[in-house]
Amino acid sequence: MDKNYDRNWKQEQEWRDSVDRTIKRFPERKDTFTTSSNIEVDRLYYSRDKNAEKLGFPGQYPFTRGIQPTMYRSRFWTMRQYAGFGSAKETNKRFRYLLEQGQTGLSVAFDLPTQIGYDSDDDMAEGEVGKVGVAIDSLQDMEQLLDQIPLDQVSTSMTINAPASVLLCMYIAVGEKQGVPMEKLTGTIQNDILKEYIARGTYIFPPKPSMRLITNIFEYCAEHVPKFNTISISGYHIREAGSTAVQEVAFTIANGMAYVDAALESGLDIDAFAPRLAFFFNAHNNFFEEVAKFRAARRIWARIMKEHYEAKNPKSWKLRFHTQTGGSTLTAQQPDNNIVRVTLQALAAVMGGTQSLHTNSRDEALALPTEESARIALRTQQIIAHESGVADTVDPFGGSYYVEELTDRIETEVEDYLERIQVIGGAVQAVEEGFMQREIHQNAYETQKRIEANEEIIVGLNQFQLDEEVNPDLLKVDEKLEQEQKQSIKDLKQKREHQAVQEKLEALRKASLQGETNLIPFILDAVKAYATIGEICNVLRNEFGEYTGM
């Protein structure tokens, strides 16, 4: 028997065994899958030639074809629509509406003051309260945000970075109040500060104490909140800032390696935290490049974790990721065209094997999405899932000459970037020296030049324009919200136990001076006493200092 064939047969048998185990845990959506012509669709299509061993099987290292053996045959990706505006009560209504419409996970957008650790009554928050997300000042707001939402049944993602530890503690505290122990909570905090320095800007503390908070979260959750993803290493904002697909993957994986290094240096065992690492990628319009990008990213991360870090648990090798369609690709001109763009991007994410997905709304280049626009965005995912047939077999493009070549090329170019970053001294050093920022800015500049020269066509923007634009009705945040939120903080401070708050904040301050002390228990105690996010972050600002950029 040919040796390659023998090895391929062994891989195939291992895959079939893993399929059987998966189906016992997650029964397939139905017994058989057929086309509209009643042609049966197999679970997986593959070859037994010499290239099959490199490509592998889904659910097997290096996971090019997906991290689960059955992928969407057993269950769909999580439909996790990003939402948040105004007050906690308003956003709670939107969450419950989306869940009623078939959304399967929550994703919280916070306003700018919350993202950078200021209370709504701080002078720095003037004019920004509730504008680009929901205002969360204290545990009281988090309780309202999650009212009547069962945290033992719903997975929640929170796009929060510098004060991620505070928002996580608020979430844990609400779970306790609902009677849900922290070990049963599921969800994700973004908690990716390096990309804030690179591309987004919502940082508070300098890199070193920021990395301490991140590794504190890794350590605490590994023991107490084991089902929660402790970081979502984000390429999304790197791409939004103007990177290429290759740069998005390369810089994201380099950042991921920096977090792993920091955790290892703090004494954590890699297999204690690596299975809960998650990633967050963008999906743009070049359909095949996006599909190949996701496949290459899985393969690169698997190899790094297994060979470079020598992780033993196969779960540590798996790159699990959430995808959001490209906000920077949306146009204010002819906003209904954005529905088509989002559909194309969402399809690429699904064909690339995403674990969860947010689809942007048509009006997001103009304002926060209306309820109608959010529903259309969710329906886009549901139509792809239930009507297109693309989820009926695993990795439909696997073996495509074009997709496999693109996957290989992206992998090679990403590895070139990773080598350059290692020569610099790793991701943290590369950020401090501005290497990633310069690379992104240069590509953004070149892209803009091509658009202005009509070398790159954006439908409705530089070609196929309309003489008169008709925009949909837009969502407007009530200006009264800011004053109401300020009054809410004032009322809270009058009714809470002032002495208890001061004691918890002082305990946090003292702990912050001890470099080996995990700060999460102290932050949790302060949160439960109804200390505000601004009070907690100010304690840490005073001890850690603030990062002011390059």
Q: What is the pLDDT along the chain (550 residues), one digit of tens a residue?
A: 455 556 678 888 999 999 999 999 988 898 899 999 999 999 999 887 666 677 889 999 999 999 999 999 999 999 998 889 999 999 999 999 999 999 989 999 999 999 999 999 999 999 999 999 999 999 999 999 999 999 999 999 999 999 999 999 999 999 999 999 999 999 999 999 999 999 999 999 999 999 999 999 999 999 999 999 999 999 999 999 999 999 999 999 999 999 999 999 999 999 999 999 999 999 999 999 999 999 999 999 999 999 999 999 999 999 999 999 999 999 999 999 999 999 999 999 999 999 999 999 999 999 999 999 999 999 999 999 999 999 999 999 999 999 999 999 999 999 999 999 999 999 999 999 999 999 999 999 999 999 999 999 999 999 999 998 877 888 888 889 999 999 999 999 999 999 999 999 999 999 999 989 999 999 999 999 999 999 999 999 999 999 987 5
Tell me, what's the pLDDT at 3?
55
- Identify the pLDDT of residue 4: 55
**Tokens at residue 543, please?**
């001890």
Q: Which residues make Cβ contacts (< 8 Å) with residue 214, sequence separation at least 6?
A: 164, 191, 193, 231, 259, 262
The pLDDT assigned to 246 comes to 98
Phi-psi region of 486 (alpha: psi -120 to 50; beta: other; left: phi over 0): alpha
Domain with CATH 3.20.20.240 in the chain: 76-452
Alpha helices (H) along 309-468: 314-317, 337-351, 371-387, 401-424, 427-432, 435-452
Secondary structure letter of residue 106 according to DSSP: E
What CA–CA distance (Å, rounded) separates 228 from 214?
Answer: 14
Is 543 within 8 Å of 512 (Cβ atoms)? Answer: yes
Write down the CATH number for the domain with range 76-452: 3.20.20.240
Are the beta carbons of 180 and 151 closer than 8 angstroms? yes
Where helices occur in 322-370 by DSSP H, the ranges are 337-351
**CA distances (Å), 42 to each of 39, 47, 67, 256, 392, in order?**
10, 13, 18, 35, 8
Residues 211/262, Cβ–Cβ less than 8 Å: yes
Q: How many C-beta atoms lie closer than 10 Å to residue 270's C-beta? A: 17
**Alpha-carbon torsion, ordered 218, 223, 224, 229, to 10 deg:** 40
The confidence score (pLDDT) of residue 342 equals 98
> What's the confidence (pLDDT) of residue 549?
75
Listed residue (328, 294, 271, 291) closest to 67, CA to CA = 294
Contact (CB, 8 A) for 12 and 59: no
SS3 188: strand
| 145-150: long-range pairs with CB below 8 Å, 24+ | 145/88, 145/91, 145/92, 145/95, 145/108, 146/92, 146/171, 146/174, 146/178, 147/89, 147/92, 148/92, 148/96, 149/92, 149/95, 149/96, 149/99, 149/106, 150/178, 150/180
pLDDT of residue 136: 98
List of residues 6+ apart from 351 with CB closer than 8 A: 291, 390, 396, 397
Distance, in Å, from the CA atom of 42 to the CA atom of 538, rounded to the nearest integer, reads 57
Structure tokens at 122: 């701080």
pTM: 0.95
* Amino acid in position 36: S
Hey, what amino acid is at 196?
E
Query: Would you state the pLDDT for residue 1?
Result: 43
Cβ of 306: how many Cβ atoms within 10 Å? 16
Query: Strand, coil or helix: what is 511?
Result: helix
Instruction: Please give the pLDDT value at position 170.
Output: 98
Question: Which residues lie closer than 8 Å to 1 by C-beta, 6 or more apart?
Answer: none
- Supply the pLDDT for residue 401: 95
Cβ atoms of 262 and 268 within 8 Å: the answer is no
Preceding peptide of 62 cis, ω within 30°: yes
The whole-number pLDDT of residue 2 equals 52
